[in-house]
Structure formats: structure tokens, C-alpha cells
Structure 1
Amino acid sequence: MERPFVSFGQPETYDDNVRARRRGGRSRARALAAAACVVLGFGLIGGAVTGSWLTGESSAGVDARTEFASAGELWHSVPVDLLFPPTVQGDGAGPGGADRVWTRVAVAPDTGCANAFDPLLRKALAPAGCLRVLRATYTDATHSLVTTVGLLFTKADATAMASLKARFEKDGLDRRTDLMPRPYAVRNTAAAGFGADQRASWTVSVLTDAPVVVYAVSGFADGRTVTAPQPAEDAMKPGATTDPAQAGLGHDAQGLADRVERGFRKTVTSATEKPS
């Protein structure tokens, strides 16, 4: 683009008549110069916007990609107490809006997916790839209920995570009893008898803004077998009369999963914030 040609007025003299004529000419010249600058400015701005649109780059896009990548690395760099706090407050998380308090009784060593999930659930999650699984088990204030909550860190990108979430929702994979997550039991704790047959309620949430799957599974601390486990979403419905619903196990599974997820997101945000 050629630079706009701008002519400047002649220097003013002290002759009043000449000054009036020069002033009018100079005003017109200034107006032309201003107009040219405006046109040039719009051209530059338009070019910058067009370039950004063509390359698909934006500050929001870059930040989202940075946060997604950072989230996938937190499993080996964040203290366990940040991911799974020793005590979790569940204000309004119980049946009827009652408060819940969960106390951590065990933390599993980080591991792969081989022993963390039943074969069918492992197969359903396989498209995202398994990087690491972190788990912890909690008990409620009465020590009568136990819940294992976990974070599966995958190898997937944002597109693959979105695809996995869509498949879980479309096929109802988060509601199938043969796809319940495994609990994590430890001797000499309230969860000592928390095995596969004790699973009562569960939730599985595939995130799309992080390469992570958040899940939780709950049961009775006395080791009783549950013959009709129920997804947390159903067990939390008003009027539900199943054993998991009546005991509030759906609320425990969903409440703990939600709060661990919130804490994880907060940790991701803190890790990616730029100093002011």
C-alpha cells in the first residue's frame, strides 16, 4: 500500500488578510491528513484481525491450550493434600441439602489402569489412553459409609476427550452397572471391607477442558453386599427408595466427586496464572 500523500499548509505570516486565507487552507489539509490516518488505521487493524482469524490464534485459545496441557501434568507435581484433602466439607451435599463432612482414610499409590478399573470400564476408557490413576478413599462423619474418588489422567487431546464424553453420554456408559469404577480398600480402616460387591452408587465424569476423568464410587462400611447398585444421579432423585438412595450414597459419590473436581480446577488455574 502506498503511503497517503499529505500536503501541509504554508507558514503563516503576520498579514491579517493572508493569515485568514492560509488558515482556511491549513484546516482543509489537516482534515485530509486525519481522514487518511483513519483509513490507514482501519486497514492495519483489519489486517491484524484477519491474520489472527486465518491462523486461528487468539489469546483465549492459547490460554485454553496451555491450561489443558498443564492440567495433564499435575499428577506428578501437586501434593496429594491438594488433590485429595484430608477433610472435605460438603455443605449442602447430603440428602435434603444436609451438610456432609468426609475424612480421608487412605490414599492409593499412583498407578496405571490395569488394576484400577474392571475390564469393561478400562476398555471403554481406552480411546483416551491411560497415563496415571490417582485415588483416595473417604468415610463420612458416622464412619458408616465409604467412598473412593479418583482422577484418571489420560493421554488424549481436547478433541479426543470431547469424543469420549459424547460417547459416554450417547451410550449411557456412566449408568451401566458393569462399568462401575473399582473401590480402593485398605486394612484397618473403615474401608477395609469395601470391595467390588459392596459398590452401591457411582458417578463418572469425562472432562473436556482437561485430559482427566473424575469418578467416585460409594458403599457401606460394614461390608454388606449390594445387589442393586444405582447411579448417583438416580439415587439422588427425590422420592428414591432404594438402599443406596435411602442411605445417601448417591449424594456421597456425587458430592465428593464434585468437590475433588472443583479443587482440581482451582489447582490448574493457580498453576497457569501469570504473575501480575
Structure 2
Amino acid sequence: MGSVDLTPQPHAGPPIHFGRPAVFDDRTAQLRPVPPRSKPRLATVAACLVVGFGLITGAVTGSWLTGEADGAPSAERVFTSAGEAWHNAKVDALFPPRVKGEGAGPGGADRVWTRIAVAPDTDCRNALDPLLRKALQPVGCERLLRATYTDATRSHVTTVGMLFTKADAASMGSLRTRFTEEGLDQRDDLMPRPYAKKGTVAAGFGNEQRASWTVSILTDAPVVVYAVSGFADGREISEPEPAAEAMESGATSTPAQSGLGHEAKGLADQIERTLRKTAKAASEDRT
């Protein structure tokens, strides 16, 4: 079978012209041309379509920007709810009695922490070292909440704190930038204080027992989250190390070898997630 020629063939009949359509005239019984459409009318219709589409698009875009297109609370609302959590949320909602950290330990091992003490809420005057309090002064101190946990072996203790500030998102961002650029979160003279309670394994957890720590300046909430860890047996640590360094591969310091850097960072991360979850839930209840 030969190949089929798909080349268009020339039209054999008379040429075809697409002229103006016609309508039937009842008075003359003849076809008469359709008058040309008014350009101003077309322009008016087009303008209405553009304006209408713009209004719809603007409304949808606005809801996306505020985070409410799918019913989710806006970032501003979550920020506000987070700042109010210190007096609106229950203790267990901020410091759960039991915290799981999947992959939070050395080598990606899982961790479980049990709460053994909750400090009364307070201001920052006596709960923080003066130099750390000065570094955080630009955002103010509304309230400070703290709790102390121990690991599954009860050989480590970690105090985690949430400092609720008086700042807006921009001020929190500025403070975070300063801490990062100046390495303030790595300085041992800005290390947070632990919270010890008699009758618990953290009874001997004082300033001299601090081994590793982390300080996190949040920008989606007016809160500074920190954690400081040490040994439950009360041994003193002469060279504490920030969690970021103690968690590095090949680190040989006492905090690194004992996993205390992972204890501080892992628990702080989990408490951050808990705060965000609590703030989001409170924001959704307001909608």
C-alpha cells in the first residue's frame, strides 16, 4: 500500500469569502446586513469584566496572605495567641508531663523526658543571670515559665524555659539577628539558670552543674525558648558547652560525650512545637 499524501489540496470551486452575517428583514422580506457592534459598548463590557475579576482575585489573594483562605488562622492571630498562652493555657499544654523526642538523641536515638518540677510563673529579675537579662532587654519580659525534666535513665536533668516578651514580630526578628550575628547564644556568660526542686532528682541542679544549653529567639511568637542541661548526680562542670557545639560529630567534651547537648536542644525543640500547636489551636477557637 502506497503512502497517504497529507499535503492540503487546492480548492477546486470558487473562492469562499466570510462576509458580515445577515438577518431577515420582516418589512422587505430581504436579508439585511447586521450593523457593526458599538465599540463603546464593548469597551464597557470589557471594563466590567476586568473590574469584577480584579475584585474576586483581590479577595482571594487577601485571604491567602492572611492565611485564612482555607479557614486557617492568620500568622498575626497565632502570634497574639502565643503571647497570651502564659495565662490562657494550662500547664500541661505548655509543659507536657511526658515529652517524646523522636531521633532527638545522639545518633538519631529517640528520647523521652518526664517532667519532675514546674516553677511558679515569675518575672525575669531573679530567674535569669543579669547579663542574659540585659541581652534580652530590648524585647522586655512579660512573664517567665519554667519546668525541669529528667530523661528515661534519670541520669540527666534539663530545665526548659519560655520567656514571654512584650515585643512585636519585627522586634523579635531584630533580636534574633543580633543573637545570631554576635554569637550571643554561644556565650557561657549568657547561659540560662536551671530550676532545681527539693525532693527530685534535680535537687542538686545548680549553676555550677550546668553542662550545655540552647537559646532560641522565636519570630512567629513573642517568646524566647531556652533549655539548660546537666547531670542528675550534681557533679560540677568546669567547661560547659553550647548545644550546637556539643552535638557536632566528633566532639569530645564531657557535655558532648554524655549527650547533654542533645538533651537541651531536643527538649527545647519539642517545647517550641508544643507552644506553636497550643497557639494555633487557641487561634482557631477564636474564628
TM-score by length of 2: 0.82
User: Residue by residue, what CA displacement relative to the aligned partner does 1:100-136 show, whole Å, maximum 9, x if unpaired?
Assistant: 1100000011110011100100110011000000110
1:209, distance to aligned residue in structure 2 (A)? 1.4
What amino acid maps onto 1:138 in structure 2?
Y
Describe the shift of the 1:248–1:17 C-alpha distance in structure 2 as closer, same or farther (beyond 3 A). farther
Aligned to 1:149: 160
User: Residue by residue, what CA displacement relative to the aligned partner does 1:50-81 show, whole Å, maximum 9, x if unpaired?
Assistant: 99x9xxx9534992222222211111010111
1:18, distance to aligned residue in structure 2 (A)? 6.5
Describe the shift of the 1:34–1:262 C-alpha distance in structure 2 as closer, same or farther (beyond 3 A). farther
Aligned to 1:273: 284
Aligned to 2:143: 132
Alpha carbons 2:24, 2:31 under 8 Å: kept: no
Aligned to 2:97: 86
What amino acid maps onto 2:203 in structure 1?
A
Describe the shift of the 1:156–1:15 C-alpha distance in structure 2 as closer, same or farther (beyond 3 A). same
Give the % identical residues.
59
Q: Which secondary structure state, in structure 2, belongs to the residue aligned with residue 210 of structure 1?
A: coil
Please, which moves more after superposition, 103-112 or 37-46? 37-46
Alpha carbons 2:25, 2:32 under 8 Å: kept: no
Aligned to 1:234: 245
Q: Give yes or no for the alignment of 1:59 onto 2:70.
A: no
Q: Which secondary structure state, in structure 2, belongs to the residue aligned with residue 105 of structure 1?
A: strand
Higher helix share: 1
Which runs of 5 or more structure 2 residues have no equivalent in the other structure? 1-22
> Following the alignment from structure 2 to structure 1, what is the Cα–Cα distance between the partners of residues 210 and 28?
100
Aligned to 2:45: 37
Question: 1:166-185 alignment to 2 at 5 Å?
Answer: 166-185=177-196
Alpha carbons 2:212, 2:242 under 8 Å: kept: yes
> Following the alignment from structure 1 to structure 2, what is the Cα–Cα distance between the partners of residues 189 and 34?
82
> Following the alignment from structure 2 to structure 1, what is the Cα–Cα distance between the partners of residues 41 and 31?
20
Describe the shift of the 1:245–1:16 C-alpha distance in structure 2 as closer, same or farther (beyond 3 A). farther
Which runs of 5 or more structure 1 residues have no equivalent in the other structure? 1-11
> Following the alignment from structure 1 to structure 2, what is the Cα–Cα distance between the partners of residues 259 and 19?
85
1:272, distance to aligned residue in structure 2 (A)? 1.1
> Following the alignment from structure 1 to structure 2, what is the Cα–Cα distance between the partners of residues 129 and 42?
49
Q: Which secondary structure state, in structure 1, belongs to the residue aligned with residue 221 of structure 2?
A: coil
Aligned to 2:37: 28
Aligned to 1:209: 220
Aligned to 1:120: 131
Aligned residue among 46, 68, 81 for 2:79: 68
Aligned to 1:194: 205
Describe the shift of the 1:48–1:99 C-alpha distance in structure 2 as closer, same or farther (beyond 3 A). closer
Q: Which secondary structure state, in structure 2, belongs to the residue aligned with residue 135 of structure 1?
A: strand
Alpha carbons 2:142, 2:165 under 8 Å: kept: yes
Root-mean-square deviation (Å): 3.1
In the TM superposition, structure 1's runs of 4+ consecutive aligned residues that sit over 6 Å from their partners are 16-19, 47-51
Corresponding residue pairs, total? 260
> Following the alignment from structure 2 to structure 1, what is the Cα–Cα distance between the partners of residues 37 and 254?
86
Aligned to 2:114: 103
Describe the shift of the 1:271–1:50 C-alpha distance in structure 2 as closer, same or farther (beyond 3 A). closer
What amino acid maps onto 1:39 in structure 2?
A
Q: Which secondary structure state, in structure 1, belongs to the residue aligned with residue 198 of structure 2?
A: coil
> Of the two, which has the highest radius of gyration?
2
Q: Which secondary structure state, in structure 1, belongs to the residue aligned with residue 177 of structure 2?
A: helix
> Following the alignment from structure 1 to structure 2, what is the Cα–Cα distance between the partners of residues 77 and 137?
21
Describe the shift of the 1:35–1:184 C-alpha distance in structure 2 as closer, same or farther (beyond 3 A). same
Aligned residue among 254, 261, 267 for 1:256: 267
Describe the shift of the 1:112–1:21 C-alpha distance in structure 2 as closer, same or farther (beyond 3 A). farther
